[in-house]
Structures are given as C-alpha cells and as structure tokens.
Amino acid sequence: MSQPSPLAPEKFPNLPAVPGVEISGLHVGLKPTKGVKDLMMARLARGTTIAGVFTQSKCPSAPVDWCRSVIGQGSARALIVNSGNANAFTGNAGDIVVSETVRAAAKLLKCPKREVFVASTGVIGVPVPPDYIAGKLPRMVKALKPKPWLNAAESIMTTDTFPKGAARKVRIGDAEVSLVGVTKGSGMIAPDMATMLCFVFTDAKIPARVLQTAIKAAANKSYNCITVDSDTSTSDTVLMCATGKGARHEPVVTATDSHFREFRRALDDLMIDLATQVVRDGEGAQKLITIDVTGAQSAQSAKRIGLSIANSPLVKTAVAGEDANWGRIVMAVGKAGEPADRDRLSISMGGVPITENGIVREDYVEAPVAEHMKGQAIHIGVDIGLGRGKARVWTCDLTHGYITINADYRS
Amino acid sequence: MSQPSPLAPEKFPNLPAVPGVEISGLHVGLKPTKGVKDLMMARLARGTTIAGVFTQSKCPSAPVDWCRSVIGQGSARALIVNSGNANAFTGNAGDIVVSETVRAAAKLLKCPKREVFVASTGVIGVPVPPDYIAGKLPRMVKALKPKPWLNAAESIMTTDTFPKGAARKVRIGDAEVSLVGVTKGSGMIAPDMATMLCFVFTDAKIPARVLQTAIKAAANKSYNCITVDSDTSTSDTVLMCATGKGARHEPVVTATDSHFREFRRALDDLMIDLATQVVRDGEGAQKLITIDVTGAQSAQSAKRIGLSIANSPLVKTAVAGEDANWGRIVMAVGKAGEPADRDRLSISMGGVPITENGIVREDYVEAPVAEHMKGQAIHIGVDIGLGRGKARVWTCDLTHGYITINADYRS
C-alpha cells in the first residue's frame, strides 16, 4: 500500500457492532502480498432485508448480474466480497465462480442461494479457479465476529490508500438504532457507481421496499454526486442491509413516514461521509473540491452542470496548480449542454464572488482567492441565474500522482 | 513556444495559392512576445460562398455568436482571426470588439458587414480595447498576398507547438481544383483557453447550401471524432470558403452530384489530416491513438463508444504507460451507455486479436501487443458484435506532460 492520501482522515473511526451483523476480513491469496486482506464476509440475522443500487455499465461484472437477479426478493443472510480480482469480463467462467461461491455459502449458512450476495473488485479479465473463494468460506465463517469493521474495510481495498468507514446513531421514534458503512474506491469513479463498493448495515427493522427507496435516494445525493475521473466501473455496488435486531421501534411502513425522516437524513449524511472519503482517496488527490451549483433550471440540470465542472480535466488541473482559473469553469458550464446564459453566470471560489452577469466584477481582487486555492478544501460556487435548481457535487484535483498510478498500474 | 510535439510532422507543407484568396499573418501586439504572430486576415474574391460549424458550448464567445448570425446568407469577403485573446466571457464589451472589427473590415474592403467573419482564441474574460483589432486592419490589408499560409497558420496558434496546414488537389469533372486548410488547437482547450479553429479554402465554385452539407459531413468524420481531454471550448469554429475563381468546372448543384463525390472524399481526407494534426499536438501527447469501432448498432452508437474509449483517462494513461490494458477498454465500452453485450465483445490492439466473445483468447500472447504499445501510433479495434455500425476516432495519450502544461501553468 502506498502512502495514505494527504486528504485521509487521521484514523479509521471506532465503529460499533450492529446487532444481527457479524463480519470477517482475511487474506486468502487473491492479492499476491501475504497478509494483505482480500476477502470480506458478513453473516446477517434471519429476517434481514436488503436493497441496493448497481453500476449503469452495459458490461457489468458477473457478481453484479447475480445481485441484480436476486435483490428483488429483498432478504439476505450473507454478503461475500473479494478484492484482487473483479471477476469481470471473464465470460462463463465468471458466472461459475459466482455460482460456486453462492452455493457454498448457502450450504454453510443453511439459507437459500438467493439470500447470498457477492461483489468483486480488482483486475478485470482474469478468471479465478471456480471454487477458489468457495473453498475459503469455512475459514471466513470461523472468523466471524460483531466488530472487526477495520478488517472488513481493509479486505475490500484495491488502490485505496486508507480504509474507509463511518457510523451514525439515530432515533426512529423513541428507539435508538445504528447505521454503519464501509466503502472502497479511488479510481474509475463517476456517477452511476464507479469502481466503488459500499455496504451499509443497520439494526433497524425496515421493509425491503422502503429500504430500496431510502438507499436509492441517498446514493443519488452522495455516490452519484462524486467523480474522480469520469470512468465508470463494471462492478459498482451499493448494498444496504437492515437486520431488525436492534431496539424495538415504531414500525416503518413507508419511506415517507414522519418518524422515519430522521433516519433518512442520517443515512444521507452517512452516505455523503462515505462517498467523500472515496473522493479524498481519489488517485493522486491533493485537494477535495466541493462544487455548489445554484440557479439552474432544475435540480437535475444543476447536477449535470456540477458534474461537467467536476469532470473537466482543465478545471481539475487548474485546482492542482492552485490557479483560480474561473475561465475554465465558464468553459465547463458551457459544455454541459444544459440551459445556461453566459451573461447571467456568477462564479465564486472560496466564497469570494469573482464574476457577475457574465463578466469579471470590477471589485475583484485575486489575493484572497489565491490564498483559498492553497488549502486542501476547495469550494467552487456557480449560479446559473435562470431558475431555482441546485446540486452539490464533489471531486478531487488531477495531479501527476493520477498519471503515475494509472500509467504503471499493471506492471 | 515550447519544444514541438514528438508527433509533429517534419515540416510545414508547401501549400499552393488558392485563386480568389489572399492572406496575411502578423504580430499586432495581442500576444506579449514581440514578433510572435497573433492576427490573420483572409480577403476573399467577390462571389465567395461560405459555410461552417461551431462549438456546441452554451456559453459561446462573442465571435461565434456573430458568425452564427450571419452565416445563413452564405457569402463572405473577409475572415479575421486573432490569437492571444478569446474575446469570450467579456459581456457587452466583447460584442463591441466584434462589431468594431467587422465595421472596419467592411469599410476597408467595401463589402456588407454580414460578409465579414471573425474568430478569436486565447485568454478568456479579458476584454481588449474595442477598436484595437480594427485599428490594425489597414496593416493587415497591405500585407495580403496569395501564399503566406505559414504566416496564417502561425498567427492563429496559442499553446500549439507547431503550425498546422494541409492541401489537396482534386477534380470536379474534368477540372482540377484546390483545397487548402489551416488549423490550430492543442487540447480542446489549452491553458490560454485555446480552441480548435479550422479554415478551409477552395477555388471551386460551390453554392453555400451545398458547401454547408459537405463541410458539416466532413467535420463529423474528422473534428467531431477527435478528443484530447473531453473539454469543449467556447470558441470552436470551422469555416470553409469557396471562391469559384479556379478552373471552370461542371456546375455543382447538390451535395450528392456524382461529379462532386471525389471533391467530398478529398475534403473528408483533408479535414481528417488537419484534425489529426491537432491530436498530434495534444497537450503532453506522446502517442497518437486511432480507435476503430465496428459491429455497433448504428454509426452514431459506434462513434459514442469510440469517444467513450478516447475520453477515458484510464485508457489514455494505460497507453501512456505502454500497457496493453484491455480491461479498461471493456470498462469504457460499458460506460458509453450504448447497446453492448460483454459476451460478444472482441478487442484487438495493434491488429492482434486479444479477446473474443467476452473473454481473453486462449491463444493470446502479449509480446507482439507489448511491442506495438512502444510505438508512436497505437491502434485499438473494438467489435461490438451486434450490428453493422462503425466509426473511427482519434485521441492521444494522457501523460505527465498534460498535467505539467495545465497545472503548473501559473502566470
């Protein structure tokens, strides 16, 4: 593992146990370096509900195909996630790895195969022996414990430079429940899920249908609002499991229940925390960039404009160079293809208004903005001046580090 | 000017005069370095027809707005192009620069204002004095001559490392006519907010309506098939002028006239030559990448898939690292959003088949592909296996040079 990103948190947080969830993370030999963890397992209590969102790639991996085919029934007993091999573009061999893994897990845990979920991340196009992961499951089951979240987070890392996790405590009615999530990703990151995996667990009791609404909405505000390099992976997977084994709470019947509102806010917040950890580990990242777009014709239009800015190599290299180059932001707004009028556009950086009504302000002084650009947290504000649509997206800068990491990855 | 790109042609070609076209290129002080040319003018014979295509940016520059508003009438007498200042995002001041320039040129050449076309490239957001360019036009007119194409090509350069031009001779019926073009661009956008500009001249006699069909089709096969960094400038402009002052030829009435076919083929070929010169000067480029997509559901679908591959930072860094990383090509096909089936996908590099039917071929040996990756001209072939749609696109690799040019640039 290389040096942790300069944007990494000081340490991995202390994550609580989630009643109904046991986890393990071990080295089983999928990654070449001995001791580097590469397989994660979660055992889920009977009655656990599950929901998820997956990559929009038209060439998804075999594990994504499997999860999509079984998630509709909404219950889960096991989650098996490997790193070191994406099991993508492996043809029929890839499907066999999945079915062998699922069969073995179902047998060990005495559950239907449709309650076993799998995800893989790593090299594309290299098949693993069909029963390789299946054969490691007895060891994984033996290692299951309520709290080794760090092991779990480490075992799903690829080019990540730090393990990623977060937790929230939240009330449903009078009862307190937990939310814990682990995630990975540091390149091939773009909206609609990029090489990123995210697993969220709660001990609340939530019907699968409601869970699906909540996780999809949360992903739209978090993982679908981040981009490192505009590349979308074959394997992106966000899964959320609700065990119902925590404190008893007022039943949740619909996603809009008023006593469920606080939970959803906490879930959104947790997902944004996890998603921005992925951006903080963006390959080569030196700066975290937050982009607020306001005044667009709609929220969707605002998001598209935000992502056009966030995906622009010229904006990202300017930030890397600590250059308050607002001209490149104008360019990126223009290329988004969304309604915009250059004569209404206002741009700020670090909260300092730079342009107004399509021209640089007469009172603009660059010094405070130049100072802001030297920091690690960069803010770009763009007001389109047309409507009330707004969105916030996150990205990182584009540096020599990105080139070094990606020009030399396989060798 | 920095070192010429390693992909630059050995020298600027010897371009012939085009009857009906006189040109000049001079230093007038828009660029800071004395002697570095920054203004180009073309005087066109009475009766010259014109057609063009422009940036899709929603925040286009003032010159693009002007050209769009007058090109419909189809005749041209003058073309004035400056570098050193993009006259983009300059509000009302930008419009005034354009109208002053156009007014002065119309007066000097005794033509209607609507026959004067302008383009600008350079720094964004910095207004020039309204009559600055207008005041230089008498000098420009005095310098007009039939053949200083190199001056013209040099005077539109920004971060380009070499001047770009090309010519073809072609027959319409029994008569031989000329095509000459100059272009600039070195990234869709460069540090100075550069742009792609392309100006093509012919002495053939072609109605404006037919010219529009021909240039639009040629741009779609050339300039619209190249990408350096996926960024779209506010100022992209392709203009084609036909003076009708060459050898008399059979009249061209429609774009599909059979005796016009050879001309259109030559125009396509010229435009591809010019467009790939732009890619060869892509910021930091070390390798020219040609991507052929076949077997897509339609030509448009093939082009979208091709551009998805060409815009992928992960594919481009892999090529920079001389890594035959076909897994990233699968990823880029998947993210294009176009119909694709991973189990029908075939990929080749340097003409060597690597995958077939969604899996790596059993007989695949990496050595010859690794050898190909060391060269300057990289070929990627992708067959989608679904239909008959095909497209060819070009890009360059993504190197440390791109980051250095765009991040380390700071005045």
State residue A141's pLDDT score: 98
| pTM, entire model | 0.78
Does residue A193 have a pLDDT over 60? no
Helix (H) or strand (E) holding B291: strand B288-296
- For B143, other C-beta atoms within 10 Å of its C-beta total 16
Q: Are A350 and A378 in contact (CB under 8 A)?
A: yes
Q: pLDDT band for A127, please (50, 70, 90 cuts).
A: confident
Q: What single-letter amino acid sits at A154? A: E
Q: What single-letter amino acid sits at B224? A: N
Going along chain A from its start, the domains and CATH numbers come out as 21-280 (3.60.70.12), 288-407 (3.10.20.340)
**Which residues in chain B are closer than 8 Å to A359, comparing Cβ atoms?**
89-93, 125
Using the beta-carbon criterion (under 8 Å), do A331 and B400 form an inter-chain contact? Answer: no
Two tokens at B35?
Answer: 């002697």
Residue owning tokens 């006259």: B87
- For A397, other C-beta atoms within 10 Å of its C-beta total 26
State residue A408's pLDDT score: 66
Ranges of chain B whose pLDDT falls below 50: 1, 188-194, 410-411
Write A90-94 long-range contacts (CB < 8 A, 24+). A90/A62, A90/A125, A90/A126, A90/A127, A90/B359, A91/A127, A91/B343, A91/B357, A91/B358, A91/B359, A92/B359, A93/A127, A93/A130, A93/B359, A94/A61, A94/A62, A94/A127
Helix axes A299-310 and A326-335, enclosed angle (nearest 10): 130
- For A16, other C-beta atoms within 10 Å of its C-beta total 15
Q: pLDDT band for A401, please (50, 70, 90 cuts).
A: confident
Q: Which of B91, B325, B331 sits opposite A410 (nearest CB)?
A: B325
Using the beta-carbon criterion (under 8 Å), do B359 and A89 form an inter-chain contact? Answer: yes
Using the beta-carbon criterion (under 8 Å), do B58 and A123 form an inter-chain contact? Answer: no
Does residue A199 have a pLDDT over 50? yes
DSSP state letter for B199: E
State residue B189's pLDDT score: 40
Q: Provide the 3-class DSSP secondary structure of residue B321.
A: coil
Beta-strand relationship, B346-349 and B377-383: antiparallel
Q: Mean pLDDT over all residues of chain B?
A: 88
Q: Are B219 and B258 in contact (CB under 8 A)?
A: no
Q: What mean pLDDT is predicted for residues A39-49?
A: 95
Beta-strand relationship, A39-44 and A78-83: antiparallel
Does residue A6 have a pLDDT over 90? no
Q: What single-letter amino acid sits at B22? A: E
Two tokens at A301?
Answer: 């239009």
**Which residues in chain B are closer than 8 Å to A304, comparing Cβ atoms?**
none
State residue A188's pLDDT score: 56
Q: Provide the 3-class DSSP secondary structure of residue B121.
A: strand
Give every CB contact of residue B406 below 8 A, 6+ residues apart in sequence.
Answer: A313, A314, A317, A318, A321, B187, B191, B283
Alpha carbon separation from B304 to B188, B215, B391 (Å, rounded): 17, 21, 9
Alpha carbon separation from B214 to B74, B165, B173 (Å, rounded): 14, 19, 17
A68-121 pLDDT, tens digit each: 999 999 999 999 999 988 887 777 888 999 999 999 999 999 999 999 999 988
> What is the gyration radius of the CA atoms in chain A, in angstroms?
22
CA of A328: which chain B residue's CA is closest? B193
Q: pLDDT band for A228, please (50, 70, 90 cuts).
A: low
Does residue A14 have a pLDDT over 60? yes
Q: Is A88 on the interface with B (CB under 8 A)?
A: yes
A144-158, A396-410, B75-89, B153-167: least confident range: A396-410
Q: Give the B window 91-150 contacts with A, CB below 8 Å.
A: 91-93, 123-125
Q: Which of B55, B89, B230 sits opposite A330 (nearest CB)?
A: B89
State residue A261's pLDDT score: 93
Alpha-carbon distance of A166 to A224, in angstroms, equals: 18
Beta bridge partners of A75: A49
Three-state SS across chain A?
CCCCCCCCCCCCCCCCCCCCEEEEEECCCCCCCCCCCCEEEEEECCCCEEEEEECCCCCCCHHHHHHHHHHHHCECCEEEEEECECCCCCHHHHHHHHHHHHHHHHHHHCCCHHHEEEEEECCCCCCCCCCHHHHHHHHHHHCCECCCHHHHHHHCCCCCCCCEEEEEEEEECCEEEEEEEEEECCCCCCCCCCCCEEEEEECCCCCHHHHHHHHHHHHHHCHHHEECCCCCCCCCEEEEEECCCCCCCCCCCCCCCHHHHHHHHHHHHHHHHHHHHHHHCCCCCCCEEEEEEEEECCHHHHHHHHHHHHCCHHHHHHHHCCCCCHHHHHHHHHHCCCCCCHHHCEEEECCEEEEECCEECCCCCCHHHHHHHCCCEEEEEEECCCCCEEEEEEEECCCHHHHHHHHCCCC
Percent of chain A surpassing pLDDT 90: 55
A193 to chain B nearest CA, in Å?
10
Candidates B180, B159, B406; CA nearest to B278 is B159
Beta-strand relationship, A377-383 and A288-296: parallel
Q: Is A378 left (phi over 0), alpha (psi -120 to 50) or beta?
A: beta
B341 to chain A nearest CA, in Å?
6
Alpha-carbon distance of B91 to A361, in angstroms, equals: 11
Alpha carbon separation from A363 to A353, A354, B18, B82 (Å, rounded): 9, 9, 50, 29
Q: What mean pLDDT is predicted for residues A175-189?
A: 81
Q: Are A94 and A127 in contact (CB under 8 A)?
A: yes
A246-275 pLDDT, tens digit each: 999 999 999 999 999 999 999 998 988 888
Q: What mean pLDDT is predicted for residues A41-47?
A: 95
Count chain A–chain B contacts defined by CB atoms under 8 A: 221
φ/ψ (deg, to 5) at B180: -130, 135
Buried-state track B31-61, b at ≥16 Cβ within 10 A, e below 16: beeeebbbbbbbbbbeebbbbbbbbebbbbb
Q: Are A99 and A116 in contact (CB under 8 A)?
A: no
Alpha-helical segments (H) within B156-288: 208-221, 261-280
Alpha-carbon distance of B136 to B284, in angstroms, equals: 34
For the annotated catalytic residues of B, the residue numbers are 195
Instruction: Reply yes or no on whether A90 is catalytic.
Output: no
Candidates B238, B268, B237, B262; CA nearest to B250 is B262
Q: What mean pLDDT is predicted for residues A32-44?
A: 94
State residue B15's pLDDT score: 94
Q: Give the B window 309-338 contacts with A, CB below 8 Å.
A: 311-314, 317-318, 320-321, 323, 325-328, 330-338
Q: What mean pLDDT is predicted for residues A363-389?
A: 94
Q: Are A152 and A79 in contact (CB under 8 A)?
A: no
Give every CB contact of residue B408 below 8 A, 6+ residues apart in sequence.
Answer: A321
State residue A54's pLDDT score: 85
The string of DSSP codes covering B339-371 is ---GGG-EEEETTEEEEETTEE-TT--SHHHHH
State residue B187's pLDDT score: 58
Q: Please, how many CA atoms are within 13 Å of residue A239, restricted to the half-sphere of its CB?
A: 30
Does residue A190 have a pLDDT over 60? no
Which carries the bigger pLDDT value, residue B318 or residue A228?
Answer: B318
Q: Mean pLDDT over all residues of chain A?
A: 88
Does residue A233 have a pLDDT over 80? no
Alpha carbon separation from A266 to A102, A208, A239, A270 (Å, rounded): 32, 18, 16, 6
Q: Are A72 and A114 in contact (CB under 8 A)?
A: no
ipTM of the complex as predicted: 0.72
Alpha-carbon distance of B287 to B277, in angstroms, equals: 12
Beta bridge partners of B392: B292
Q: Give the A window 347-386 contacts with B, CB below 8 Å.
A: 355, 357-360
Using the beta-carbon criterion (under 8 Å), do A125 and B360 form an inter-chain contact? Answer: yes
